[in-house]
Amino acid sequence: PVNSHKMVYVRAMTEYWPQEDPAIPCMDAGLPFQKGDILQIVDQNDALWWQARKISDLGTCAGLIPSNHLLKRKQREFWWSQPYQPHNHLKSAIYKEEFVGCGQKFYIGTGASNCYGAVGAPYEEVVRYQRHPANKHRLIVLVGPSGVGVNELRRQLIELNPNRFQSAVPHTTRSKKSYEMDGREYHYVSKETFESLMYSHRMLEYGEYKGHLYGTSVDAVQAVLDEGKICVMDLEPQGIQVARTQELKPYVIFIKPSSMSCMKRSRKNAKIITDYFVDMKFKEEDLQEMEDLAQKMESQFGQFFDHVIVNDNLQDACAQLLSAVQKAQEEPQWVPATWVS
Ligand code: 5GP
């Protein structure tokens, strides 16, 4: 239903290129958008074509975008028109790769769905949300390819101000060591207890290491937030959807490596590159692999990223992280409309 007094804003959960859409009534009038773009819906009276602007270009004329219904249909037609080819990562995302986490199955690219070929909502209604100073902080989620320094950044941030930032205490099924304390290093639980947390979706992430289960529970994150602190955690990108609840209101920060091609563009950069490799302890091939992985993460999960930081130097990245976290807690941000009742 259209409310003429209140503008509707949505987050694009998919991308759209009018130049590649033969069905658009007028190609030049189309508004191209990428995953994660916030769109102001100017008119949604037509069942097939809406008018919208990007909030980054509010001064411009509105353009045509497919309605929710039409875009969903396009997505579905696209996926089913694709023959199964395992080498294509986009197709295999739907047909093949199955990510198991927190007792749920995730098919990359489909949103939170649990049946083959299902397509998530193409637009998510969003509103401006500003945390009231008296309310709990938002969970800060750090995502990035392994090796990019996500762990190190989290550690440094907490070190800067341990009274303000804290990690959640993970659960484990391994036994406690003599120098450890229950609730400090870990919560030590039985396999049955751990599994019941998993199956009741109370684990945000988990994994197995040397035959034991390790993971972070929603309650452990809540415990940090209840103390008035800012909880900072790393997540695999396919775990973001589990954490994306009204309860935790996560602010997701993507950490990516600096692009090789970008760094190589000038000779002046030689010193920067050397510093980078020394700083990050990398070989060139590792960086290329990491860059590829970062690109995949961005193309599959970019719609969930609230902020992106390029880590080409740990000090700078940490300063940027600190400032982003501050803004996430103190300034208005776009969040799913369902989080604000
Ligand atoms: P340790 O038993 O030596 O304390 O931890 C061994 C390993 O358990 C760590 O190196 C890490 O791989 C894994 N681990 C520890 N905490 C967590 C956690 O919260 N989640 C997951 N998925 N793995 C963890």
The Cα–Cα gap between 304 and 307 comes to 9
- pLDDT reading at 192 higher than 50: yes
pTM reported for the whole predicted model: 0.86
- Tell me the residue ranges of DSSP E strands in 58-202: 63-66, 99-101, 104-106, 123-129, 140-143, 165-166, 171-172, 187-188
Which residue has 């994994």 as its token pair?
Answer: 207
| C-alpha dist (Å) from residue 50 to 24, 42, 123, 182, 316 | 11, 8, 12, 56, 41
Percent of the chain scoring above 90 in pLDDT: 70
Does the CB atom of residue 216 touch ligand 1 within 6 A? yes
Would you give the distance in Å from CA 129 to the centre of its chain?
A: 18
Query: Which residues fall within 8 angstroms of residue 258, CB to CB, at 6 or more apart?
Result: 276, 310, 311, 312
- DSSP assignments along 155-187, one per residue: HHHHHH-TTTEEPPPPEESSPPPTT--BTTTBE
Burial class (CB in 10 A: 0-12, 13-18, 19+), 235: buried
Residue nearest to atom 6 of ligand 1 (CA): 209
Give the whole-angstrom CA distance, residue 261 versus residue 16: 27
Ligand 1 contact, 101 CB (< 6 A): no
Weakest mean pLDDT among 18-22, 37-41, 190-194: 18-22
How much is the mean pLDDT over the chain? 86
The predicted pLDDT at position 193 comes to 98
Return the number of other C-beta atoms located less than 10 Å from residue 125's C-beta. 14
Residues 80-139: pLDDT tens digits?
A: 776 654 444 443 333 333 333 333 333 333 333 333 345 689 999 999 999 999 999 999
| pLDDT tier at 180, thresholds 50, 70, 90 | very high
Q: pLDDT above 70 covers what percent of the chain?
A: 83
**Residue closest by Cα to atom 3 of ligand 1:** 209
Lookup: tokens for 46: 């037509």
Compute the distance from residue 209 Cα to the ligand 1 centre, in Å. 7
Q: Flag whether pLDDT at 261 surpasses 70.
A: no
Residue 322 in this model has a pLDDT that exceeds 90: yes
What local confidence, expressed as pLDDT, does residue 57 receive?
Answer: 87
pLDDT band of residue 60 (cuts 50, 70, 90) is confident
Using the mean position of ligand 1's atoms as its centre, give its distance from the Cα of residue 112 in Å: 26
Lowest mean pLDDT among 61-70, 106-115, 197-206, 305-314: 106-115
Q: How high is the pLDDT of residue 108?
A: 36
Strand partners, 186: 182
For residue 174, report the distance from its CA to the centre of ligand 1, in Å: 10
176 CB less than 6 Å from ligand 1?
A: no
Residue ID of nearest Cα to ligand 1 atom 17: 214
pLDDT reported for residue 117: 42
- Please check whether residue 9 is in contact with residue 58, taking contact to mean a CB–CB distance below 8 angstroms: no
Ligand 1 midpoint to CA 208 (Å): 8
298-313 pLDDT per residue, tens: 999 999 999 999 998 8
166-170, 227-231, 284-288 — which is least confidently predicted? Answer: 284-288
* Spacing, Cα 130 to ligand 1 middle (Å): 34
pLDDT computed for residue 229 by the predictor: 98
